[in-house]
Amino acid sequence: IMKILITGPDGTPYSNGCFIFDVYFPNEYPTTLPSINLETTGNHTVRFNPNLYNDGKVCLSILNTWHGRPEEKWNATSTFLQVVVLNDYYFFSIIEDEISQYYESIDLSGNNHVTR
């Protein structure tokens, strides 16, 4: 297992955030794709964007967790760097309208009470 820490870039809703991912490489890697899980989920209560679920699921074509064109799917010539770059791209570059639509569609009423 490998742990990856990605920090949110300035000028995005994720700025200064630290996001931890666990990566598991099976014995058959690179023939078999690695599995990736988002660990920064607020104890499974936060879904940061449409590609990152609150249960830790990471949806990317290259991980076969999202539909996509055949050339976007994992194959033996794929590299882990491609996964990290795509994850970073989809994580941080969702346009503002999509983020607004997503947050308008979820129930945040449980976040109205803050305990110190």
- At 87 the pLDDT is 57
CA distances from 78 to 7, 30, 34, 51, 57 (A): 24, 7, 11, 20, 20
Architecture of domain 2-105: Roll (3.10)
More confident residue, 28 or 112: 28
CA distance 55 to 75: 26
pLDDT in tens, 47-77: 878 888 899 998 888 888 888 888 888 888 8
Comparing C-alpha atoms, which of 30, 54, 29, 51 is closest to residue 40? 54
* CB 49 within 8 Å of CB 68: no
Distance CA 99, CA 62 (A): 22
Q: What is the pLDDT of residue 83?
A: 74
Residue pLDDT, tens place only, 86-98: 656 556 655 455 5
For residue 22, the cross-strand partners are 3, 37
Catalytic annotation, residues: 59
CA–CA separation, 58 vs 45, rounded Å? 15
End-to-end CA distance of the chain: 34
Q: Which two tokens stand for residue 15?
A: 């700025």
Express each pLDDT in 19-49 by its tens digit: 899 999 999 988 888 999 999 888 888 887 8
Highest mean pLDDT among 10-14, 57-61, 90-94, 106-110 belongs to 57-61
